[in-house]
Structure 1
Amino acid sequence: MPKKMLIDAAHAEETRVVVLDGNKVEEFDFESSARRQLRGNIYLAKVTRVEPSLQAAFVEYGGNRHGFLSFNEIHPDYYQIPHADREALLREAEEEDDDHPPAGAVDDEAEAAATENLGGGDDDDEVDEEIARRRQRLMRRYKIQEVVKRRQIMLVQVVKEERGTKGAALTTYLSLAGRYCVLMPNTDRGGGISRKITAVTDRKRLRGIVTDLDVPPGMGLIVRTAGAKRTKAEIKRDYEYLSRAWGNIRDTTLHSIAPALIYEEEDLVKRAIRDLYDKDLEGIWVEGEAGFREARDFMRMLMPSQAKKIQAYRDPTPLFVAHRIEDHLAQIYSPTVPLKSGGYLVINQTEALVAVDVNSGRATRERNIEATALKTNLEAAEETARQLRLRDLAGLIVIDFIDMDEAKNNRTVEKTLKDCLARDRARIQMGKISAFGLMELSRQRRRTGILEGTTHICPNCQGAGRVRSVESSSLAALRAVEMEALKGGGEVIVRVPRDVSLYILNHKREFLTRILRGHGLFVSVVIDEALAHAEHEIDRVSNVPHEVDRSVEAPEPAGYADVEIDDAALDQDDEQAEDEEDQDEGGEAIAVAPAADEGAAPRRA
């Protein structure tokens, strides 16, 4: 079915991008002006603290929190060691590189065979793999406190977004991603070819192109998967674009004072064209004039021959509404995802992991339980892979498939999930289905997830998804009053929500009276609509204990004392009775006191 890319840039506050395969949403990304992506940005930063216990440094780069810079992410050029030692270190690294050639020089057949076991992942992720061995060797030779000092200036790049209380993860090994190439300005690895390009003829042709580019010493270049069928002119134009960007970064750095933003990663419109565009797309429709001009100009610069595919959408009906996208996106906020056969997924995100539960639901059309379980699990595998991309679920993910008796069915489900995950641009490690029907996998976090980026913690449940019952909330408030009474008598004001106050005054008057009689603590219950369901506040307004006549019996559980009425009281006129009734009507704040000598009713605050 035809594929198309839709870009909603009608509102400056938020940009959304969707890739449609027929009527199904295959890719979704968004960016908010209030929360711009940091990943890929380059900063001139200053070391604020070196932490030997973590073998890491905390740096000030201009973000909301200090960034985290692990020792193995610090380039040897920043080591505070004698120049001769640094030169010897670099020579040793070059000699080792001769013994261990880069990815681009590996035998093509061996490289192609190795790709069978690789999961998804970006081509620029190979940068980490290429230099990981060298970093580990440096860490064994030095300690961070020996070579990095406080207030030291470094050029760093964000590799992981800020999240919760954690600052951004940084590196000094820089990389600039283009459409067809990844330029590594300070990583001397020569030229490399993406491992996803498995055709021997393509690899040989691309290696010749990279050699002709004459990449300067001290820099590295990797040809991305998108460049597999591209001409030398197209790859050269992309490389020259990245080289100019690096030149601008160097010039800006020389005229900046840390902390400062040196280079900002492309916005979502440009990133979508750079990373998601392929020849199978029949067109790119952009809503919003500013977004359309930006997309058209970027495509003309990046791929001039494809600029005609950029189309402006000016229909009165919103772009996503016309293609019925809004309903699909609304489902992302729901933990339940329906399946074709009648089954469904339940997706729950926790601090430790993401749990995906597969349920058969109304799926009862198959001839037996095993067939029903297999069909539902296969549908769940395909839908789970899609939901991981749409929601950008990352970290440890556990899928609870429906139990199946035959081992071959488990292998079938595993293969289906593996094939579906191969289209994912994030790095993924996948296990096998265990005896308990569980499959574990880990997925790289590429961006802020839609739930994290567009929602906040519920003020009522504090993110738990459930609230305490009225009875439980009332008892929690009363226990707090009881603890306050142990500090001594006096007077306190208890502020609680309306339903909690009604429960206390209707069912717990005896308890409050007992507090007053036993501790001399007078309690006023006040309704506070601003409080969440399970919240309460206690304010002490007096430390002077209340004196209580202990000869008077405590009131009945209903909260009213038995009062003996003389027969003469029945002869009082109606006016006096009405006055007494008016005194019994109260407001929202009611102070509960014990029965007095004359059978007094509850006192008003």
Structure 2
Amino acid sequence: MSKTMLIDAAHAEETRVAIVDGRQVEEFDFESRARRQLRGNIYLAKVTRVEPSLQAAFVEYGGNRHGFLAFNEIHPDYYQIPVADREAIMAEAQSDDDDDHDDLGRESDDGDSDGGLADEERLKRRLMRRYKIQDVIKRRQILLVQVVKDERGAKGAALTTWLSLAGRYCVLMPNTGKGGGISRKITNTSDRRRLKAAAAALKVPQGMGLIIRTAGAKRTRAEIKRDYEYLLRLWSTIRETTLSSNAPAMIYEEENLVRRAVRDMYDKDFDGIQVEGVEGFKQARDFMRVLMPSQAKKIHLYQGSRPLFASNGIEEVLTQIHQPVVPLKSGGYLVINQTEALVAIDVNSGRATKERNVEATATKTNMEAAVEAARQLRLRDLAGLIVIDFIDMDEGKNNRAVEKALKDALAKDRARIQMGRISGFGLMEISRQRRRLGVIEGATEVCECCQGAGRVRSAESAALTTLRAVDIEAGKNGAGSVNLRVSTAVALYILNHKRAYLQSLLELRGLNVVIQIDDSLAQGEHSIERTETNEDFVAPESHIDLAELDDGFDDSAFADEDEDHDEDEDFGDDQDEAELESEDEDDDESRARQEQDDDGRGGRRRRRRRG
């Protein structure tokens, strides 16, 4: 089927992008104006604290929290060491370069292997062995940093000083001293040889590095050169801005979603790009004219009467992304739950009962689930540690088939992925690169009632917890009066079921409880406000006569019988032990006689053999 890119930029508050293959949504990305991603932005930052125990620094760059800068992410140019030592370090790193470096290296944002940066990783490890961060980085030092991971929860952004600028076909690394590298995803030998020659012809300045991205595999030398020159101009602008700025300050902001989609997601095989929203259309067309002028004619402004996504039948599909349950064609379903530690995906057979036996049903459901789980990872941008709980299968070949199906489905993903094998418990572990905030994190807020737990306390449990708190208040501050604010459900439960308890508090503890309804409080919350203290209250003596609780049952009638029974049990135990000892003695005598007979026969046999 033909692929189309749909861009919904009708609302300035949120932009959405979908790659559609027929009616199937293959990829989805969105960006909220209130939560713009920081990843890729470059800042002029100031070191606020050096932490030797973490071998890291915290820097002020202009975000909501201080950024985290690990020691191995600090370029040697920033080390407070003699110039001669710094030059020796860089010369040593340069001498490590070899002809095969383009097959190794770190990976870029779209999952491409940068190929050409393996030596950079070796340099980082060597520097960490030679120096400590507290010796070479000082407080209030100014650094040019780039965000590699967005702020998430209570964690600040992760930063690096090894900068990279992504274009359509190339990635320019202004302070990485390597020549050219080729994406590991480009496996064709002739393409790699041709692209390596094209990169060498660009004559990248010393001290910079360049990677040819997967999108540049079939591009001409002229197209790659145009993209490289665009990145050089961009870096020149960044340098000029840096020199005229004071820390902390934003130096470069990564492209918005419309431009990133054109740069990273578009392919020449697409039928075209439909954009809803005049401003978004202008941005996409103008940026395409810079990157790929010949493709600008494929961008069209959508002017239909119905919304763009609704007219293409994908609005309902995208609504499903926010639901934990994902149905499968066979009748089974997935249940997806995100936690702080990992993402759990549970596979259930549901109504899938058409196969000939349990094994066949489990295998077919798991095969469907593998493909759909890989698709949901892309659509929801679920990242970190992911565990899939497949239906148990007895035959090993079926496990291998499911693993292969999942691996093939994950090959379409632009994020870096590592996957294990199905364990004996039916679990598979996957690690997926976090490229942005997931759909759930980016489009939702923590529930005020349950604080993200997904469940609230029942009215009964909340009422009892509240009354215990009132009792504690009475014990601490004595008699008087308090205002108890609770939700409607809890107030009704207390008034209908615990009125006698409130009366006992008043009579025995001298505490008058005035219940006030406050629906701004969650069901498990309450507020106790002391309004009056009565120091003259004298609590009545509390005495419970145990005789009044006697129901006429005579315990003494059974005392002697219990003792006799105990004696009988002791006598029986002694008799059993004596019988066991007698049996053991008989067994010992029997074994002794048997051994003597065996020795006699053995001796006669030995004598006959000797004769």
TM-score (normalizing by structure 1): 0.87
Give 1:454 deviation, angstroms: 1.1
**Once structures 1 and 2 are overlaid, which stretch shifts more, 165-174 or 82-91?**
82-91
- Cα distance in 2 for residues equivalent to 1:60 and 1:240: 32
Given that 2:101 and 2:117 are in contact with CA atoms closer than 8 Å, whether structure 1 keeps it comes out as: no
What CA deviation, in whole Å up to 9, does each residue of 1:274-320 have, x standing for no partner? 11111221010000011101111111111011111101101121101
1:48 partnered with 2:20: no
1:233 partnered with 2:231: no
Give 1:131 deviation, angstroms: 2.0
- Cα distance in 2 for residues equivalent to 1:91 and 1:409: 54
Tell me the secondary structure at the aligned position of residue 251 of structure 2.
Answer: strand
Given that 1:522 and 1:546 are in contact with CA atoms closer than 8 Å, whether structure 2 keeps it comes out as: no
Q: 1:128 to 1:261 in 2, by over 3 A?
A: farther
RMSD of aligned residue pairs (Cα, Å): 2.0
Q: Which runs of structure 2 are paired with 1:395-406 in the superposition (5 Å)?
A: 395-406=384-395
- Cα distance in 2 for residues equivalent to 1:73 and 1:342: 49
What CA deviation, in whole Å up to 9, does each residue of 1:16-74 have, x standing for no partner? 00000110111000011111110000000000000000000000000010000000000
1:3 partner letter: K
Q: 1:552 to 1:292 in 2, by over 3 A?
A: same
1:469 partnered with 2:440: no
Q: Which runs of structure 2 are paired with 1:482-561 in the superposition (5 Å)?
A: 482-487=471-476, 488-545=478-535, 547=537, 550=540
Q: 1:121 to 1:32 in 2, by over 3 A?
A: closer
- Cα distance in 2 for residues equivalent to 1:183 and 1:453: 29
Q: 1:519 to 1:126 in 2, by over 3 A?
A: farther
What CA deviation, in whole Å up to 9, does each residue of 1:64-91 have, x standing for no partner? 1000000000000000001111111111
Give 1:124 deviation, angstroms: 6.3
Unaligned runs of 5+ in 1: 555-605
Match of residue 200, structure 2, among 207, 211, 217? 211
- Cα distance in 2 for residues equivalent to 1:211 and 1:532: 65
Match of residue 435, structure 1, among 400, 421, 424? 424
**Once structures 1 and 2 are overlaid, which stretch shifts more, 27-36 or 514-523?**
514-523
Give 1:413 deviation, angstroms: 0.5
Match of residue 379, structure 1, among 368, 371, 374? 368
Equivalenced residue count is: 543
Instruction: Determine the structure 2 residue equivalent to 1:35.
Output: 35
Given that 2:274 and 2:302 are in contact with CA atoms closer than 8 Å, whether structure 1 keeps it comes out as: yes
2:471 partner letter: E
1:27 partner letter: E
Match of residue 331, structure 2, among 321, 342, 366? 342
Give 1:450 deviation, angstroms: 1.1
What CA deviation, in whole Å up to 9, does each residue of 1:447-497 have, x standing for no partner? 011111111111111111111111001001101101111112221111011
- Cα distance in 1 for residues equivalent to 2:369 and 2:342: 18
Q: Which runs of structure 2 are paired with 1:86-485 in the superposition (5 Å)?
A: 86-98=86-98, 101=99, 103-104=101-102, 122-123=111-112, 131-485=120-474
- Cα distance in 1 for residues equivalent to 2:45 and 2:415: 28
Given that 1:119 and 1:429 are in contact with CA atoms closer than 8 Å, whether structure 2 keeps it comes out as: no
Given that 2:178 and 2:208 are in contact with CA atoms closer than 8 Å, whether structure 1 keeps it comes out as: yes
What CA deviation, in whole Å up to 9, does each residue of 1:125-159 have, x standing for no partner? 65775522211110010000000000000000000
What CA deviation, in whole Å up to 9, does each residue of 1:175-227 have, x standing for no partner? 00000000000001110111111111111111111111000000000100110
Given that 1:61 and 1:259 are in contact with CA atoms closer than 8 Å, whether structure 2 keeps it comes out as: yes
- Cα distance in 1 for residues equivalent to 2:157 and 2:27: 25
- Cα distance in 2 for residues equivalent to 1:301 and 1:413: 44
Instruction: Determine the structure 2 residue equivalent to 1:590.
Output: none
1:79 partner letter: Y
2:101 partner letter: A
Tell me the secondary structure at the aligned position of residue 34 of structure 1.
Answer: helix
Given that 1:9 and 1:16 are in contact with CA atoms closer than 8 Å, whether structure 2 keeps it comes out as: yes
Percent identity, please. Answer: 69
Tell me the secondary structure at the aligned position of residue 292 of structure 1.
Answer: helix
1:80 partner letter: Q
2:32 partner letter: S
Tell me the secondary structure at the aligned position of residue 232 of structure 2.
Answer: helix
Q: 1:186 to 1:162 in 2, by over 3 A?
A: same
Q: 1:553 to 1:56 in 2, by over 3 A?
A: closer
1:270 partner letter: R
2:446 partner letter: I
What CA deviation, in whole Å up to 9, does each residue of 1:517-551 have, x standing for no partner? 33222211111122112211100112224737959
- Cα distance in 1 for residues equivalent to 2:4 and 2:27: 11
Tell me the secondary structure at the aligned position of residue 34 of structure 2.
Answer: coil
Given that 1:492 and 1:539 are in contact with CA atoms closer than 8 Å, whether structure 2 keeps it comes out as: yes
What CA deviation, in whole Å up to 9, does each residue of 1:223-260 have, x standing for no partner? 00110110010000000000000000000000000000
- Cα distance in 2 for residues equivalent to 1:316 and 1:506: 56
Given that 2:44 and 2:250 are in contact with CA atoms closer than 8 Å, whether structure 1 keeps it comes out as: yes
TM-score (normalizing by structure 2): 0.86
1:70 partnered with 2:70: yes
- Cα distance in 1 for residues equivalent to 2:190 and 2:348: 47
Give 1:9 deviation, angstroms: 0.5
Q: 1:126 to 1:30 in 2, by over 3 A?
A: farther
Instruction: Determine the structure 1 residue equivalent to 2:80.
Output: 80
- Cα distance in 1 for residues equivalent to 2:212 and 2:175: 17
1:146 partner letter: D
Tell me the secondary structure at the aligned position of residue 205 of structure 1.
Answer: helix
Given that 2:19 and 2:26 are in contact with CA atoms closer than 8 Å, whether structure 1 keeps it comes out as: yes
Tell me the secondary structure at the aligned position of residue 472 of structure 1.
Answer: helix
Give 1:97 deviation, angstroms: 2.6
Given that 1:119 and 1:428 are in contact with CA atoms closer than 8 Å, whether structure 2 keeps it comes out as: no
Q: 1:178 to 1:121 in 2, by over 3 A?
A: closer
Given that 2:114 and 2:184 are in contact with CA atoms closer than 8 Å, whether structure 1 keeps it comes out as: no
Give 1:345 deviation, angstroms: 0.1
Give 1:516 deviation, angstroms: 2.3
Tell me the secondary structure at the aligned position of residue 486 of structure 1.
Answer: helix
Tell me the secondary structure at the aligned position of residue 97 of structure 1.
Answer: coil
- Cα distance in 2 for residues equivalent to 1:102 and 1:256: 40
- Decide which structure has the larger Cα Rg and report it: 2
Given that 1:191 and 1:207 are in contact with CA atoms closer than 8 Å, whether structure 2 keeps it comes out as: yes
Given that 1:3 and 1:281 are in contact with CA atoms closer than 8 Å, whether structure 2 keeps it comes out as: yes
Q: 1:128 to 1:18 in 2, by over 3 A?
A: farther
Unaligned runs of 5+ in 2: 545-611
2:329 partner letter: K
